[in-house]
Amino acid sequence: MHLRFLAPLHVCLKLVLRAACLCAVVATAVQAQPAKSITQDELQARLQEAKAQPELGHKLYTLGRKVAAVCANCHADQNGKAILEVPYLDGQNPAYLVEQIRQFSQGLRKNTFMEGILKAMSRDEMVGMVLFYEKEPLPARPPKDAALVAQGKAYFERICVNCHGTDGRGNERLPRIAGQHTGYVQMTLTRYREGSRVRSDPNMAFVTKGMSDQDIRAVASYLATMP
């Protein structure tokens, strides 16, 4: 289910206006008790249980697919256009995504809309959603500017591979950035470079400090073409 968004500049307002409706859909779809305070260890342990037990994994995956039907209103393409402040979740590293969910649900990572949605979700809903997105493929995106992509590739292979790997898929601590849409990557790298309170990380602050706007555009363009 995709909803049409009129303009990226008004994303925050639209998401807030949809919050009540989406929360109601979540409650109807999953019929579970909301989580009060879930620790990282609890979420990661449940994720490992689901991966070790096929029957449980399938059950949580099915639950997560229902939750993701709501998430798709923001985290999927909207009529072929991505929302600036919302990343694609398809193919994301499960352990990394679980930790981001926990941080949002406890207000450690700030976003009023996400905090509200996740606080209404149970541990199994969170883990199930992660299992669902782990298996979702990202569509291929051909380069729009070959020269810019080549510049981004060179920068990525010189700097970014040290943490995110040659395939851009990160690991349990770092996100998959391969295939992420350009708007979100540019916005996030700029926030790291400028020391925004929205996103802060000492390593990323150090790496992005020397990036020009052109470097950021180039890297974002290259990542969007990575499978």
What phi and psi, each to the nearest 5 degrees, are found at residue 78?
-110, 100
pLDDT at 36: 54
CB burial readout 24-45, b (16+ within 10 A) else e: ebbeebbebeebeebeeebbbe
Determine if the pTM surpasses 0.75. yes
Mean per-residue pLDDT, 99-120: 85
pLDDT at res. 199: 75
pLDDT surpasses 50 at 20: no
* pLDDT above 90 as % of the chain: 62
> What does the pLDDT read at residue 109?
81
Mean pLDDT confidence for 75-99: 89
Q: Is the pLDDT of residue 187 over 80?
A: yes
The tokens for 211 are: 């990036």
pLDDT band at 37 (very low <50, low <70, confident <90, very high): low
